[in-house]
């Protein structure tokens, strides 16, 4: 009986050894050497602030005047900032008048108004060669009624971009 028991123990030891032997002999898998990852070069783009296009491109003048008031200067500051941020854009300043006065007088006054707007834009850094002027005098009214409320809408300088 002892012999059977020893035989069984020996058989168990042999089976366990064979199991351990096969478990330790895994197939060796060759792994290709890792290539060095390509360096990623990222260009740093300068931060460019965008300037919104102004909501108004018109400035208004008092009767028989070509001087800019505070509201006109504020509107023109916004337009100058936008033009400076958009260097490929050119502009034409159109001078306009109400119907009072002769045609010749209104053409001259419209030109003074257009020049006033142009000079202000240039003083804010817009290149002079990017701004043209034209006077339409009383020929292009925004309002065709009569009376001060209507005439005030026609005494203007319009900035038209192109």
Residues 60-82: tens digit of each pLDDT: 999 999 999 999 999 999 999 99
In a domain, 50, yes or no: no
Q: How far apart are CA 71 and CA 79, in angstroms?
A: 13
Q: What is the dihedral of CA 140, 144, 150, 151, to 10 degrees?
A: 50
This model's pTM is above 0.75: no
The residue among 137, 46, 45 whose CA lies nearest residue 98 is: 137
At which residue do the structure tokens 């060095």 appear? 36
In a domain, 120, yes or no: yes
Phi, psi of 57, rounded to the nearest 5 degrees: -115, 15
What DSSP state is assigned to residue 26? P
pLDDT at 60: 98
Interval 87-127: pLDDT, tens: 999 999 999 999 999 999 999 999 999 999 999 999 999 99
In a domain, 131, yes or no: yes
pLDDT at 47: 47
Average pLDDT over residues 135-143: 98
The residue among 136, 52, 26, 126 whose CA lies nearest residue 83 is: 126
State whether residue 157 is helix, strand or coil.
strand
In a domain, 103, yes or no: yes
In a domain, 32, yes or no: no
In a domain, 126, yes or no: yes
In a domain, 118, yes or no: yes
Say yes or no to pLDDT of 1 above 80.
no
Q: What is the dihedral of CA 29, 32, 36, 41, to 10 degrees?
A: -100
**For the domain that residue 73 is a member of, what is the CATH number?**
3.30.1330.60
When divided into structural domains, the chain yields a total of: 1
- 112 is in which domain, residue-wise? 59-81+90-161
At which residue do the structure tokens 């990017």 appear? 130
Interval 22-64: pLDDT, tens: 555 555 555 565 665 556 556 655 545 588 999 999 999 999 9
In a domain, 139, yes or no: yes
Say yes or no to pLDDT of 160 above 70.
yes
The residue among 128, 142, 88, 134 whose CA lies nearest residue 108 is: 134
């Amino acid at each position: 009986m002892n012999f059977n028991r020893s035989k069984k123990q020996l058989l168990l030891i042999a089976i366990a050894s064979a199991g351990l032997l096969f478990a330790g002999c895994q197939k060796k898998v060759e792994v290709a050497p890792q290539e060095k990852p390509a360096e990623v070069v990222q260009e740093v783009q300068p931060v460019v602030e965008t300037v919104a296009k102004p909501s108004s491109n018109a400035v208004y003048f008092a009767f028989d005047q070509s001087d800019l008031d505070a509201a006109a200067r504020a509107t023109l500051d916004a337009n100058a900032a936008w033009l400076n941020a958009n260097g490929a854009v050119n502009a034409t300043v159109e001078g306009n008048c109400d119907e009072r006065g002769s045609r010749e007088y209104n053409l001259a006054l419209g030109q003074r108004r257009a020049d006033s707007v142009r000079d202000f834009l240039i003083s804010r850094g817009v290149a002079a060669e990017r701004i043209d002027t034209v006077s339409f005098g009383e020929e292009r009214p925004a309002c065709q009624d009569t009376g001060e409320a209507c005439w005030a809408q026609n005494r203007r300088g319009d900035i038209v971009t192109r």
